[in-house]
Amino acid sequence: MNILCSFAFHQLKRKKSRTMITAAAIALSAALLTAVVNFAASGNRMLSGFLGSDYGLYGNAYTMLLLIPAAFLAALIIAMSVIVISNAFRMSANERISQFGTLKCVGATKNQIYKTIMYECILLCTGAIPLGILLGYLLSFAGIGVVNLYMEELNVLVRSMMKQVNFQLSFVFSPAALLISLVISLGTVLFAAMLPARKAMGISALDCLRNGGETDTQGYKHTKMILDAKRNIEYQLAKKNVSTNRRRMHSAVTAFTISIMLFVTMSGLKEIAGGIQSYLYQDYGCTVIADYTAKFKNTIHPKTGRRQQECAYPIDAKTAEEITEKLKGYQDTDIYGSGQDYSTYAAILTPQDLTEDMQKVLFRETGENPEIILDVERIILDDKHYREVCKQAKTAYGGIILLNDYKYNDKGTERHIAPLSMTVSTLKLEKADGCLDDITIDGVLKASEIPKELMYPNTNPIRLIVPSEGISLRGYNWMASPEDEDGFMEYARAVLESYFPQNGMDYDKAGYTSRVYGAQDFVKIMNIAIILAAFFLYAFVFLLGLIGVLNVISTVSFQIKLRARELAVLQSVGMPSESVQKMLNIESILCWGKAVIVGLPAGMCIVFIMMRCVKILFPVSFHMPWAAIIITILISFLVMWGTIRISARALKKQNIIETIRI
Amino acid sequence: MEILEVKELTKIYGKGDNQVIALDHVSFQVKKGEFVAIVGASGSGKSTLMNLMGGIDRPTSGDVIVDGKQIFAMSESSLAIFRRRNIGIVYQFYNLIPNLTVDENIMLPCLLDNRKPDSRKLSKIVEMTGLSHRRNHLPGELSGGQQQRVSVGRALINDPAFILADEPTGNLDSKAGREIIELLMSANRKANQTLILITHDENIALQADRIITISDGRMIRDEVMRV
């Protein structure tokens, strides 16, 4: 064996515990990188199967959707791995610095010193990277197994809403992905080892012989702190040690900081996802929804410049009513039929027509404007429920009823306001082509009086329930709470298929689609997605955190051993071993505190920023993940405290005089 | 024939008020096969001079010429290679590699050159050092005197232009110290090996052909004891 390789091999053999910890960190890093690459490959296979090899129309968007998270996770793993692995090799180089000095004196070149450390790295990689890649494949295999546990349920749900969809995540063994994992893992470890190796090769032989223990001789910083006999000496010494040796513990504190930050961020993300899920959960007062949706195209009217909607296969009110009656035929089920038209009319209003609240909202969004044009939502209901609403609004059958409620997202809080003042009794409506229609409002329902079937998430400011005669719409819903849900769903599918035959074509080709699904299916899908995302993110953060913890254990125990002489000197001048232990405990608290002081606010800031972004889109309630924050604080404290205690215990067995003589 | 030439060698540490002149324009020459003792009080600049002659440190000014080559004109890597082939260094604290056996430690300069030394030559050196029965022992299994003998063996393996020995007996008892000096002198006399010995032991210095005295970084005396 080459002499330099033999030095490296001996060093690995001599420092078994650190070799094991470093190998574990390399293996974990390779495992995580492999798992990320493999998941991207499996995702690619799934999307290719679903969308075609080029991902279809939105190919670039899907590619980004796959690559951006993979690149982000890979960058995080690489950053953490470089910090941790580099630190392990730095410690190894520090231990061997006097050996490097001797080697240099007997004629070893800089390059040979560099190679000694790099051989150590290559020897470690030879075992750890294949093991890590294998572990990565096992992780992705297990992960895909977990996904597939939910996938069938997800497919059933998705199929009931989007026909001809079959998501399947399969384990992919791709030589290209294997090569990518290998190259990235090896590159990361080699780069990490290169940093301390370059530092070690740069030190002169004389410095190696003189300093014999630290490649970084700039590690000690001056502090203004002067020891004061009146104050607790252990605390003062600990504080001085932490501030003068800050570079020695730097990597452990950094790795800890990143772990804390990631854990808090992930917990916050889960809270946000939970908030979105709660917001999307709507009680429509029904358990099954059947709907018809026609394909549409938004165009701009050439004369007026207004937006208009073109729809080839609209549903007319008569057909909708016929279907309502047919659906009622199943075990005499009550059906709530409703259809919405969002795009035919716009209302031309003056500021006086609006309530003060509505004016404030509009002026905040668009500025003051003498003529206000607001989108109108026309709603038609099945005959039975239209009659009920007319009665509730104390108007005759055939009247137009204003639903005087506007729901909007006020910086993350959902607010309901009455848009029109109660004095308004007529409205001037304009079509996209500029034709004007004056209508009379026959009745008004306030927010509290509006049926919950009509309280869906996105609504227009002006909402009118109109008589259904002669109206054709892009879509229509039939809501029901049948006793036999499965039977009703099957029956409803047959009814809709008879009216709107799909003939094996999808929405895009047929120009329309009809669906029958459980009212909470969407929430269930989201719930599955959140569970899966949480599972993977927590597993990721846990494994990445484990790399950080390995680093903390390795660094702290190394530093304690390196300071054995210093601690023995303290004991020789009369410091009891309890006081030494106390000083080390305080040091652990100070280092832990440093990591928490940076990592915790950084994580909370990221969560806060994410929450602000989400609140622009959804009025979700949000709470800081305090439980996760407390768990993070406790676990990180236990790791730091425990490592120092265990490492310091080994020192107790040492003879003070022998240690001082070393 | 001069094997070593030290020319106006100066080494200054620090700047401004903290400036320390460790070596001040020191010049001398050493002939092939000569045994030179460099003596001086603690802090006089002996070790600085040795580090500069060995090419381990670089001077503020001046030059060291070994076998006709200006060593400080070389790059760091070239100087390292030159050192392992042409200069043998013996330290007070042995500086052996703890995980290498006696044989491996002696062979180290050759191994760094990716070549295995002649086994007869290695055996001869091991025999000379009196460690034939300990060839496969690690440094930790040897006494201080034995470790220093390994260090001398390592210095001799490449037939260097000269051996630089920095207080080689400083960490040994008198018997082991005597044995080391005998070993070094035997190499000097039998193999005509140039020897430069740094010591503060007058008795050892008196055995040299020439004594150079250093004080406060300056060469204050250069006495020829025997021709």
pLDDT along chain A (662 residues), means of 10: 82 85 90 86 75 62 70 84 86 82 85 89 92 91 82 69 63 83 90 88 76 45 58 75 71 84 86 80 80 87 81 90 92 90 86 85 68 87 92 91 86 84 83 86 89 78 89 90 90 91 78 85 76 80 83 80 76 73 85 90 88 81 84 88 81 66 52
- Is A206:B57 a contact under the CB 8 Å cutoff? yes
Residue A403, phi then psi, degrees to nearest 5: -90, 95
Apex CA A62: angle with CA A56 and CA A63, to 5°?
A: 105
DSSP state of A31: H
Domain shared by A121 and A24, yes or no: yes
Domain shared by A424 and A439, yes or no: yes
Residue A156, phi then psi, degrees to nearest 5: -60, -45
The alpha carbon of A447 is separated from its chain's Cα centroid by a whole number of angstroms, namely: 35
- Is A172:A143 a contact under the CB 8 Å cutoff? no
Which of the residues A7, A105, A112, A116 would you substitute to probe the B interface, choosing the one with the greatest number of B C-beta atoms within 10 Å? A105
Distance from CA of A185 to the nearest CA of B (A): 30
Q: Does the CB of B109 have a partner CB in chain A at under 8 Å?
A: yes
The residue-averaged pLDDT of B36-61 equals 90
- Name residue, tokens 């969560």: A607
Contact list in A for residue B75 (CB cut-off 8 A) is none
- Domain count within chain A: 3
Domain shared by A473 and A325, yes or no: yes
- Is B37:B204 a contact under the CB 8 Å cutoff? yes
Contact: A7, B97; criterion CB under 8 Å: yes
Structural element, H or E, at residue A297 = strand A296-300
Cα(A651)–Cα(A581) distance, integer angstroms? 10
CATH number at residue B90: 3.40.50.300
Closest Cα in chain B to A105: B56
Domain shared by A411 and A445, yes or no: yes
- Is A598:A257 a contact under the CB 8 Å cutoff? yes
Strands A413-417 and A406-410: antiparallel
Torsion of CA A360, A365, A370, A375, to 10 degrees: -100
**Residue-level pLDDT at A212:** 47
Q: Which of B97-101, B161-165, B195-199, B205-209 has the lowest mean pLDDT?
A: B97-101
B19 is a domain residue: no
Strands A443-445 and A401-403: parallel
**Taking Cα atoms as reference points, which of A287, A271, A509, A468 lies closest to residue A380?**
A468
**Taking Cα atoms as reference points, which of A662, A642, A660, A648 lies closest to residue A571?**
A660
Give the amino acid at A210.
Answer: R
Domain shared by A226 and A150, yes or no: no
From the list A10, A99, A107, the residue facing B84 with the nearest CB is A107
**Residue-level pLDDT at A538:** 82
Distances (CA, A) of A572 to A223, A384, A607: 25, 96, 50
Domain shared by A203 and A238, yes or no: no
- Is B143:B113 a contact under the CB 8 Å cutoff? no
Residue A135, SS3 per DSSP? helix
Question: Taking an 8 Å Cβ-Cβ cutoff, which residues of chain A contact chain B?
Answer: 2-3, 7, 10, 14, 98-99, 101-112, 204-206, 209
Angle between helices B102-112 and B119-129 (to 10 degrees): 130
**Residue-level pLDDT at A163:** 55
Domain shared by A499 and A640, yes or no: no
Q: Which two tokens stand for residue B16?
A: 């401004």
Distance from CA of B84 to the nearest CA of A (A): 4
B10 is a domain residue: no
The answer on pLDDT for B65 being more than 90 is yes
Which of the residues B48, B97, B110, B171 would you substitute to probe the A interface, choosing the one with the greatest number of A C-beta atoms within 10 Å? B97
Q: Which two tokens stand for residue B144?
A: 């201080």
- Domain count within chain B: 1
Domain shared by A418 and A381, yes or no: yes
Closest Cα in chain A to B47: A206
- Residue B211 pLDDT level (bands cut at 50, 70, 90): very high
- Name residue, tokens 């300990």: B134
Closest Cα in chain B to A202: B76
Contact list in B for residue A112 (CB cut-off 8 A) is 80, 112
**Residue-level pLDDT at A368:** 60
**Residue-level pLDDT at A162:** 57
Q: Number of residue pairs across A and B with CB atoms under 8 Å?
A: 65
Structural domain that includes position A365? 288-519
End-to-end CA distance of chain B: 14
DSSP state of A483: S
Domain shared by A470 and A560, yes or no: no
Apex CA A489: angle with CA A486 and CA A493, to 5°?
A: 145
Structural domain that includes position B112? 30-59+68-224
Q: Write down which residue in A461, A489, A519 finishes a domain.
A: A519
> Chain-wide mean pLDDT for chain B?
89
Which of the residues A5, A9, A98, A102 would you substitute to probe the B interface, choosing the one with the greatest number of B C-beta atoms within 10 Å? A102
Distance from CA of B227 to the nearest CA of A (A): 31
The alpha carbon of B179 is separated from its chain's Cα centroid by a whole number of angstroms, namely: 17
Partner residues linked to A347 by β-bridges: A374, A429
Closest Cα in chain A to B84: A107
Domain shared by A559 and A466, yes or no: no
Helices (H), A162-284: 175-202, 205-211, 233-244, 246-280
Domain shared by A49 and A119, yes or no: yes
Contact: B109, A106; criterion CB under 8 Å: yes
**Taking Cα atoms as reference points, which of A293, A289, A294, A338 lies closest to residue A522?**
A289
The alpha carbon of B208 is separated from its chain's Cα centroid by a whole number of angstroms, namely: 14
From the list A10, A102, A109, the residue facing B80 with the nearest CB is A109
Cβ neighbourhood burial of B227 (10 Å; 0-12, 13-18, 19+)? exposed
The alpha carbon of B137 is separated from its chain's Cα centroid by a whole number of angstroms, namely: 24
Structural element, H or E, at residue B86 = helix B76-86
Contact: B83, A98; criterion CB under 8 Å: no
CB atoms within 10 A of CB A297: 9
Q: Which two tokens stand for residue A93?
A: 């180089």
The answer on pLDDT for B108 being more than 60 is yes
Q: Does the CB of B83 have a partner CB in chain A at under 8 Å?
A: yes
Domain shared by A449 and A507, yes or no: yes
